[in-house]
Structure 1
Amino acid sequence: MSACAQNPAPNGDAPRQGQPAAATNKASAEATKAGAAVAPAADPSLLRFDAKSVKLDDAAQAQLQQLLEPARGAKQIVITGYCDRKEIGNAKGAAIARANAVKSALVKQGVAAKKIRVKYTTDEPLHAAKVDFTS
Protein backbone atom coordinates (compact mmCIF):
# COMPACT_ATOMS: atom_id res chain seq x y z
CA MET A 1 0.00 0.00 0.00
CA SER A 2 2.86 2.41 0.57
CA ALA A 3 3.66 2.24 -3.15
CA CYS A 4 0.49 4.22 -3.89
CA ALA A 5 1.68 7.08 -1.74
CA GLN A 6 4.85 7.35 -3.79
CA ASN A 7 3.08 7.69 -7.14
CA PRO A 8 3.06 11.28 -8.42
CA ALA A 9 -0.22 13.12 -8.80
CA PRO A 10 -1.73 12.44 -12.25
CA ASN A 11 -1.53 16.11 -13.21
CA GLY A 12 2.04 16.51 -12.01
CA ASP A 13 1.11 19.22 -9.50
CA ALA A 14 2.39 17.42 -6.43
CA PRO A 15 4.62 19.66 -4.31
CA ARG A 16 8.31 18.83 -4.50
CA GLN A 17 9.74 17.21 -1.42
CA GLY A 18 10.32 19.87 1.20
CA GLN A 19 8.27 22.44 -0.73
CA PRO A 20 5.03 23.55 0.92
CA ALA A 21 1.82 23.19 -1.09
CA ALA A 22 1.31 26.95 -0.85
CA ALA A 23 4.49 27.51 -2.85
CA THR A 24 3.19 25.19 -5.55
CA ASN A 25 -0.15 27.03 -5.61
CA LYS A 26 1.66 30.38 -5.87
CA ALA A 27 3.72 29.13 -8.79
CA SER A 28 0.55 27.89 -10.47
CA ALA A 29 -1.13 31.27 -9.99
CA GLU A 30 1.90 33.05 -11.45
CA ALA A 31 1.85 30.71 -14.45
CA THR A 32 -1.82 31.55 -14.95
CA LYS A 33 -1.05 35.29 -14.89
CA ALA A 34 1.64 34.72 -17.47
CA GLY A 35 -0.93 33.19 -19.82
CA ALA A 36 0.02 29.55 -19.33
CA ALA A 37 -2.67 27.02 -20.17
CA VAL A 38 -4.74 25.89 -17.22
CA ALA A 39 -7.72 23.63 -16.82
CA PRO A 40 -10.88 25.43 -18.00
CA ALA A 41 -12.67 25.07 -14.67
CA ALA A 42 -9.67 26.08 -12.52
CA ASP A 43 -11.52 29.30 -11.68
CA PRO A 44 -15.28 28.77 -12.02
CA SER A 45 -15.85 32.53 -12.25
CA LEU A 46 -13.64 32.81 -15.36
CA LEU A 47 -15.60 31.88 -18.47
CA ARG A 48 -13.31 31.30 -21.43
CA PHE A 49 -14.18 32.23 -25.01
CA ASP A 50 -12.71 31.15 -28.32
CA ALA A 51 -10.38 33.95 -29.47
CA LYS A 52 -12.69 34.97 -32.32
CA SER A 53 -16.00 34.45 -30.52
CA VAL A 54 -18.31 36.47 -28.30
CA LYS A 55 -20.74 33.59 -27.68
CA LEU A 56 -20.77 31.31 -24.67
CA ASP A 57 -19.95 27.75 -25.72
CA ASP A 58 -21.49 24.68 -24.06
CA ALA A 59 -18.69 24.41 -21.49
CA ALA A 60 -19.09 28.06 -20.48
CA GLN A 61 -22.89 27.66 -20.29
CA ALA A 62 -22.44 24.70 -17.93
CA GLN A 63 -19.90 26.65 -15.89
CA LEU A 64 -22.32 29.56 -15.67
CA GLN A 65 -24.84 27.29 -13.95
CA GLN A 66 -22.40 27.00 -11.02
CA LEU A 67 -22.46 30.79 -10.67
CA LEU A 68 -26.24 31.20 -10.52
CA GLU A 69 -26.69 30.71 -6.78
CA PRO A 70 -23.91 33.12 -5.75
CA ALA A 71 -25.12 35.58 -8.40
CA ARG A 72 -28.66 35.56 -7.06
CA GLY A 73 -27.40 36.16 -3.51
CA ALA A 74 -24.91 38.88 -4.39
CA LYS A 75 -25.59 42.57 -3.79
CA GLN A 76 -23.59 43.53 -6.85
CA ILE A 77 -22.01 41.66 -9.74
CA VAL A 78 -19.17 42.96 -11.87
CA ILE A 79 -18.51 41.18 -15.15
CA THR A 80 -15.23 42.00 -16.82
CA GLY A 81 -14.87 41.10 -20.48
CA TYR A 82 -11.38 40.30 -21.73
CA CYS A 83 -9.95 40.37 -25.23
CA ASP A 84 -6.31 40.45 -26.28
CA ARG A 85 -5.89 43.58 -28.39
CA LYS A 86 -2.75 42.10 -29.97
CA GLU A 87 -4.87 39.35 -31.56
CA ILE A 88 -8.22 41.00 -32.34
CA GLY A 89 -8.80 44.25 -34.23
CA ASN A 90 -11.85 45.47 -32.29
CA ALA A 91 -10.75 44.07 -28.94
CA LYS A 92 -12.80 46.60 -26.95
CA GLY A 93 -16.00 45.66 -28.75
CA ALA A 94 -15.30 41.94 -28.35
CA ALA A 95 -14.50 42.29 -24.63
CA ILE A 96 -17.71 44.24 -24.00
CA ALA A 97 -19.74 41.76 -26.06
CA ARG A 98 -18.35 38.87 -24.00
CA ALA A 99 -19.27 40.56 -20.73
CA ASN A 100 -22.74 41.33 -22.08
CA ALA A 101 -23.19 37.71 -23.21
CA VAL A 102 -22.56 36.57 -19.65
CA LYS A 103 -24.86 39.30 -18.28
CA SER A 104 -27.66 38.25 -20.65
CA ALA A 105 -27.29 34.61 -19.67
CA LEU A 106 -27.48 35.49 -15.96
CA VAL A 107 -30.52 37.73 -16.48
CA LYS A 108 -32.29 34.94 -18.43
CA GLN A 109 -31.73 32.74 -15.38
CA GLY A 110 -33.41 35.22 -13.04
CA VAL A 111 -30.55 37.40 -11.82
CA ALA A 112 -31.60 41.05 -11.53
CA ALA A 113 -30.03 43.12 -14.32
CA LYS A 114 -29.85 46.23 -12.14
CA LYS A 115 -27.21 44.70 -9.90
CA ILE A 116 -24.89 43.76 -12.79
CA ARG A 117 -22.15 46.12 -13.97
CA VAL A 118 -20.15 45.42 -17.12
CA LYS A 119 -16.59 46.53 -17.78
CA TYR A 120 -13.75 45.45 -20.05
CA THR A 121 -10.01 45.21 -20.48
CA THR A 122 -7.84 44.59 -23.53
CA ASP A 123 -4.52 44.71 -21.68
CA GLU A 124 -4.23 41.01 -20.89
CA PRO A 125 -3.67 38.09 -23.28
CA LEU A 126 -6.99 36.51 -22.34
CA HIS A 127 -10.25 35.76 -24.14
CA ALA A 128 -12.77 35.42 -21.34
CA ALA A 129 -15.25 37.04 -19.01
CA LYS A 130 -14.74 37.15 -15.23
CA VAL A 131 -17.67 37.30 -12.84
CA ASP A 132 -17.05 38.91 -9.42
CA PHE A 133 -19.61 39.10 -6.61
CA THR A 134 -19.97 41.39 -3.60
CA SER A 135 -22.20 40.41 -0.72
Structure 2
Amino acid sequence: TNNIVNYQNEWPLQEDAFYNYLIGKYGSEEKIFNVHHYETKEVKSSLGVTIVPQGLEVPSTYSVTFYDNGQMKTESLLDTVTNYEYEQKIQNERRNIFLLKTQFISVALETVEDVLANQSGSSQYVSDELTRGENIRLYQ
Protein backbone atom coordinates (compact mmCIF):
# COMPACT_ATOMS: atom_id res chain seq x y z
CA THR A 1 0.00 0.00 0.00
CA ASN A 2 2.95 2.37 0.52
CA ASN A 3 5.27 1.09 -2.24
CA ILE A 4 8.20 1.01 0.19
CA VAL A 5 10.87 -1.35 -1.08
CA ASN A 6 13.91 -0.15 0.88
CA TYR A 7 13.00 1.16 4.32
CA GLN A 8 16.45 2.73 4.77
CA ASN A 9 15.98 5.05 1.77
CA GLU A 10 12.20 5.38 1.60
CA TRP A 11 11.22 5.66 5.26
CA PRO A 12 11.18 9.06 7.04
CA LEU A 13 14.38 9.82 8.93
CA GLN A 14 14.59 10.86 12.56
CA GLU A 15 15.86 14.38 13.19
CA ASP A 16 19.53 13.52 13.84
CA ALA A 17 19.67 11.08 10.91
CA PHE A 18 18.01 13.71 8.69
CA TYR A 19 20.62 16.30 9.71
CA ASN A 20 23.46 13.85 8.97
CA TYR A 21 21.87 13.01 5.62
CA LEU A 22 21.72 16.72 4.71
CA ILE A 23 25.34 17.32 5.71
CA GLY A 24 26.39 14.27 3.69
CA LYS A 25 24.43 15.37 0.63
CA TYR A 26 25.13 19.13 0.64
CA GLY A 27 28.47 19.27 2.46
CA SER A 28 27.85 22.07 4.96
CA GLU A 29 25.11 23.80 6.95
CA GLU A 30 25.48 26.86 4.73
CA LYS A 31 24.75 24.85 1.58
CA ILE A 32 21.74 23.21 3.22
CA PHE A 33 20.02 26.60 3.15
CA ASN A 34 21.01 27.55 -0.42
CA VAL A 35 18.28 27.91 -3.04
CA HIS A 36 17.16 24.57 -4.45
CA HIS A 37 14.53 25.92 -6.84
CA TYR A 38 11.72 28.45 -7.26
CA GLU A 39 7.98 27.79 -7.21
CA THR A 40 5.11 29.89 -8.49
CA LYS A 41 2.58 31.59 -6.30
CA GLU A 42 -0.99 31.42 -7.53
CA VAL A 43 -1.87 34.14 -10.06
CA LYS A 44 -5.55 34.88 -10.68
CA SER A 45 -7.34 37.28 -12.99
CA SER A 46 -9.75 39.88 -11.65
CA LEU A 47 -12.55 37.39 -12.42
CA GLY A 48 -10.97 34.76 -10.19
CA VAL A 49 -9.70 32.58 -13.03
CA THR A 50 -6.43 30.86 -12.16
CA ILE A 51 -3.74 31.94 -14.62
CA VAL A 52 -0.82 30.18 -12.91
CA PRO A 53 -1.35 27.54 -10.22
CA GLN A 54 0.66 27.54 -7.03
CA GLY A 55 3.67 25.26 -6.63
CA LEU A 56 5.03 24.87 -10.17
CA GLU A 57 8.83 24.55 -10.26
CA VAL A 58 10.18 27.34 -12.49
CA PRO A 59 13.44 29.23 -13.18
CA SER A 60 14.23 32.38 -11.18
CA THR A 61 13.50 34.55 -14.25
CA TYR A 62 9.95 33.21 -14.68
CA SER A 63 7.11 35.65 -15.25
CA VAL A 64 3.71 35.42 -16.88
CA THR A 65 2.01 38.02 -19.07
CA PHE A 66 -1.77 37.94 -19.54
CA TYR A 67 -4.73 40.16 -20.42
CA ASP A 68 -7.02 41.18 -17.58
CA ASN A 69 -9.90 43.62 -18.12
CA GLY A 70 -8.39 44.75 -21.42
CA GLN A 71 -4.99 45.49 -19.90
CA MET A 72 -1.84 43.48 -20.21
CA LYS A 73 -0.37 42.43 -16.85
CA THR A 74 2.95 40.83 -16.06
CA GLU A 75 3.33 38.93 -12.81
CA SER A 76 6.43 37.36 -11.32
CA LEU A 77 5.28 35.89 -8.02
CA LEU A 78 7.82 33.30 -6.90
CA ASP A 79 8.63 31.49 -3.68
CA THR A 80 12.20 30.46 -2.97
CA VAL A 81 12.60 26.85 -1.86
CA THR A 82 15.83 26.01 -0.03
CA ASN A 83 17.54 22.63 -0.07
CA TYR A 84 16.33 22.14 3.52
CA GLU A 85 12.70 22.92 2.63
CA TYR A 86 12.88 20.62 -0.40
CA GLU A 87 14.27 17.69 1.62
CA GLN A 88 11.86 18.36 4.50
CA LYS A 89 8.91 18.18 2.09
CA ILE A 90 10.11 14.75 0.91
CA GLN A 91 10.42 13.60 4.54
CA ASN A 92 6.90 14.84 5.34
CA GLU A 93 5.47 13.01 2.32
CA ARG A 94 7.11 9.81 3.60
CA ARG A 95 5.33 10.24 6.93
CA ASN A 96 1.96 9.72 5.26
CA ILE A 97 1.43 6.01 5.75
CA PHE A 98 -1.48 4.31 4.03
CA LEU A 99 -2.99 1.30 5.76
CA LEU A 100 -4.59 -1.60 3.97
CA LYS A 101 -8.36 -1.61 4.44
CA THR A 102 -9.48 -4.43 6.72
CA GLN A 103 -11.70 -5.89 4.00
CA PHE A 104 -8.59 -6.60 1.87
CA ILE A 105 -6.34 -8.11 4.57
CA SER A 106 -7.54 -11.69 4.06
CA VAL A 107 -7.09 -11.39 0.28
CA ALA A 108 -3.56 -10.01 0.73
CA LEU A 109 -2.60 -12.76 3.18
CA GLU A 110 -3.93 -15.47 0.87
CA THR A 111 -1.98 -14.01 -2.04
CA VAL A 112 1.24 -13.85 -0.02
CA GLU A 113 0.74 -17.42 1.23
CA ASP A 114 0.21 -18.63 -2.35
CA VAL A 115 3.30 -16.84 -3.63
CA LEU A 116 5.51 -17.92 -0.74
CA ALA A 117 4.15 -21.44 -0.40
CA ASN A 118 6.68 -24.14 0.45
CA GLN A 119 6.77 -26.37 -2.59
CA SER A 120 7.92 -29.95 -2.27
CA GLY A 121 10.95 -30.56 -4.43
CA SER A 122 12.33 -27.03 -4.24
CA SER A 123 15.92 -26.61 -3.03
CA GLN A 124 14.75 -24.83 0.14
CA TYR A 125 11.88 -27.16 1.05
CA VAL A 126 12.24 -28.97 4.38
CA SER A 127 8.59 -29.53 5.35
CA ASP A 128 5.21 -27.82 4.92
CA GLU A 129 5.99 -25.61 7.91
CA LEU A 130 9.72 -25.12 7.39
CA THR A 131 11.82 -23.67 4.60
CA ARG A 132 15.60 -23.45 4.53
CA GLY A 133 16.86 -19.91 3.97
CA GLU A 134 20.16 -18.21 3.29
CA ASN A 135 21.93 -15.61 5.39
CA ILE A 136 21.98 -12.63 3.06
CA ARG A 137 23.87 -10.39 5.53
CA LEU A 138 21.87 -7.17 5.24
CA TYR A 139 24.18 -5.37 7.66
CA GLN A 140 27.94 -5.55 7.71
Bigger RCO (CA 8 Å, 6+ sep): 1
Instruction: Mark the structure with the bigger radius of gyration.
Output: 2
TM-score by length of 2: 0.19
TM-score by length of 1: 0.20
Which protein is richer in strand relative to its size? 2
Which protein is richer in helix relative to its size? 1
